[in-house]
Amino acid sequence: MKTLSSILVICMGNYCRSPLACGLLGHALRQTEFRDKINIESAGLGDWHAGEGADERAFLVAENYGIDLSSHVARKITFEDFHEFDVILGMDLSNMEALNKIKPETTTAKIDLFLNFTAGQMEEISDPYMYGEEAFESVFGQLQQGTIKLIEKLKNGSLQI
């Protein structure tokens, strides 16, 4: 078993869910003794939004909870990411399928569904892109639930990678 030092969160375009997850995880970890111990980043499976900030609805929902996404710049996952991160978390089963297809055989990264790794729930976080702010609020709630569980596991030493 190794110590968790880095997490990469993934969604389709690094525009909605993964920026929210990255922002929320980073914000929550900064409130704990793990603040300088775990690097959190995000990326997308595609490059549709590369170079852009987070979706305005994601930005606004995060802002409502005191989380700043203003420094987010969307990017596509790289080959190197599979070697630089301990854990790579997809938001839904289609993300997981794509990650498992492109992962190099030599990776040691644990690849898992966000809510399965964080909260032990085989549950997807649906893409809110085609919906309104309420969908982004719902996604935030799921991410928050997973983040709380992840921090509990870190604090009690039950997280295994």
Percent of all residues in the chain with a pLDDT value above 70, rounded to a whole number: 100
For residue 4, give both structure tokens.
């968790």
Q: What would the pLDDT profile of 52-111 be if each residue is shown by its tens digit?
A: 999 999 999 999 999 999 999 999 999 999 999 999 999 999 999 999 999 999 999 999
Whole-number pLDDT of residue 160? 83
For residue 67, give both structure tokens.
């989380």
Instruction: Decide if 24 is inside a domain.
Output: yes
Tally of structural domains, the chain: 1
DSSP output for 89-158: EESSHHHHHHHHHHS-TT---EEEEHHHHHHS--------TTS-HHHHHHHHHHHHHHHHHHHHHHHHT-
Instruction: Decide if 89 is inside a domain.
Output: yes
Whole-number pLDDT of residue 140? 98
For residue 125, what are the contacts with CB-CB under 8 A and spacing of at least 6? 17, 91, 92, 114, 115, 139, 142, 143
- pLDDT band, residue 1 (cuts 50/70/90): confident
**CA 107: distance to chain centroid?**
19
Where in the sequence numbering do the catalytic residues fall?
Answer: 11, 17, 127
Range of the domain at 38: 6-156
User: Taking a C-beta distance cutoff of 8 angstroms, is the pair 23, 68 a contact?
Assistant: yes
Whole-number pLDDT of residue 10? 98
User: Taking a C-beta distance cutoff of 8 angstroms, is the pair 21, 9 a contact?
Assistant: yes
Instruction: Decide if 161 is inside a domain.
Output: no
- Could you tell me the CATH number of the domain that includes residue 148? 3.40.50.2300
Q: What would the pLDDT profile of 130-151 be if each residue is shown by its tens digit?
A: 999 999 999 999 999 999 999 9
